[in-house]
Amino acid sequence: MPAPSREPVLVMMSGGVDSSVAAALLLGAGHEVVGVTMKLWGGPSDTGCCAVSDVDDARRVADRLGIEHHVFNFGEDFERDVVGPYVGDHAAGRTPNPCIECNRYLKFDRLVRRADALGFDRIATGHHARVIDTPGGPRLARGIDGAKDQSYVLHVIDESVLRRLFLPVGAMTKADVRAIATDLDLRTATKPESQDVCFITNEHGRKSFLGDRIPLRSARVQDSEGKELGSVSSVELVTIGQRKGLGLAGGSDPRYVVDVDAAPGRQPVVTVGEKADLAVDLTPLESWRWVGEALDDTDLSFQCSAHGSPAPGRVVHGGVEWAAPHRKIALGQSVVAYDAHGCVVGGGIADRLPI
């Protein structure tokens, strides 16, 4: 926990139990705490953290704690920096991660700039991750609760932001967080966790959301030798590794998507193969960024999804060379590198092998 102080802290309160407890812990440590909730998505939401009820929960927790609470409307920014690119990536046959882009552009850029304008040097969130001081500067590290660790989706946070960031629940288990919320009689103590993409509803789904914004294109399904096997109605809904929903009949072995070609100007093509065809020795990367010192040709561990298991490898020639064959990663997904201490040391986005 931060040392006792009257240093003001702007706490991002999503309406969930983690950010509620983060605010309570900082208040208990002597900080002057102000809560803020970002209103990002103006459309319907029944998942994620953008529902109207979430704003109300954050406000009522702030009232319970006796702290100020404000709502900032960043809807236009969210549409431009998160929703628009999400739709564009799907149209290009990629599989985006909008939560990472929300952290990159909204929570740890747009909101940080608002904190600067209001005179707050310190900010805080309820994410399950830690900030570790190292000789090379502050580093983002995995949270203590491995099942809830969120360092993967936070890997884009700049070092300048880490220097001023509190993550009060990162050294706690989820059970401990809920126990504190219960002891404090916070209304979020038993609230279910946010799931999935906040702007995609369970009722209508991804197909409806994308179909309202772009024309969905059919794609030819073929095997690795180019033999046509069928078709899918929406290439924008297909991702690397997918097995179900391809409408392929017959055959004793399951078939998986091994490539998606949605280049404009020609009919999209989905290539399928056996599970073994998904194994690769190298994953090309774009927009790779080291945190601190470059660690090329160094043994590291890499995580390729929010809750994926780390796999050993090293960065060579703009890609990850895996220590053992690794499942192919969908284009557009982030690949995050960790050192032996669980600190984030780099990150990038899965790309396609050059033709």
Residues taking part in catalysis: 102, 198
Whole-angstrom CA distances from 56 to 125, 134, 152, 306 are 18, 39, 28, 27
Whole-angstrom CA distances from 69 to 15, 60, 117, 124 are 12, 9, 17, 14
* Three-state SS at 252: coil
- Residue 194 sits at the vertex; the CA angle it makes with 332 and 123, to the nearest 5 degrees, is 85
* Three-state SS at 102: helix
Residue in 110, 55, 54 with CA at minimum distance from that of residue 82: 110
Q: Which residues pair with 335 in a beta bridge?
A: 348
Whole-angstrom CA distances from 324 to 30, 265, 283, 299, 346 are 49, 37, 12, 13, 20
What is the CB neighbour count within 10 angstroms for residue 177?
A: 25
* Three-state SS at 26: helix
Q: Which residues pair with 71 in a beta bridge?
A: 37
